[in-house]
């Protein structure tokens, strides 16, 4: 139920809304790469979004879009406009779990990764 609420909230955002545009204007685009040769992202049909109390206005809110098996893009409001970062194994796993959970369709360059994520979300008897 929470997933439906979050997806509805995302879809209801009006990209022409001046407040939404102002929020994005204050954020930097960050390109997050995977260095580890044995790690990759799943690519889903929905981005990973974690909205906090003020939505995207809250600096701790997250909006991630996985664009390839080795690259994710996000917005951040750090005072240092770094444009590139490299993710740890834990961060990669967290983004994969969240992307898998938020999406209705996913693809991956790793069959093993898809199986591990699918196993986590299987109903337990």
pLDDT digits (tens, 9 = 90+) for 17-46: 676 677 667 778 889 999 999 999 999 998
Tell me the C-alpha to C-alpha distance, in Å, between residue 88 and each of 13, 34, 49, 95.
Answer: 31, 8, 19, 11
pLDDT tops 60 at residue 110: yes
What does each C-alpha distance from 35 to 41, 51, 53, 85, 86 come to in angstroms?
A: 12, 28, 33, 10, 7
Which two tokens mark 50? Answer: 């974690």
pLDDT digits (tens, 9 = 90+) for 44-61: 998 888 777 776 666 677
Q: What is the mean pLDDT of residues 66-85?
A: 82
Q: What is the pTM of this model?
A: 0.74
Give the C-alpha separation, 70 to 92, whole Å: 10
Q: Nearest CA to 64 among 93, 36, 29?
A: 29
């Amino acid at each position: 139920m929470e997933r439906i609420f979050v997806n509805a909230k995302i879809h209801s955002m009006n990209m022409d809304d001046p407040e939404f545009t102002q929020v994005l204007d204050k954020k930097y685009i960050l390109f997050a790469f995977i260095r580890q040769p044995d790690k990759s992202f799943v690519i889903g049909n929905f981005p990973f979004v974690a909205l906090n109390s003020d939505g995207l206005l809250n600096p701790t809110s997250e909006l991630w879009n996985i664009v390839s098996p080795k690259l994710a893009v996000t917005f951040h409001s750090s005072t240092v406009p770094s444009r590139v970062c490299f993710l740890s194994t834990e961060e990669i796993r967290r983004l994969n779990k969240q992307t898998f959970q938020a999406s209705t369709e996913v693809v991956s360059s790793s069959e093993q990764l898809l199986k591990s994520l699918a196993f986590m979300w299987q109903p337990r008897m």
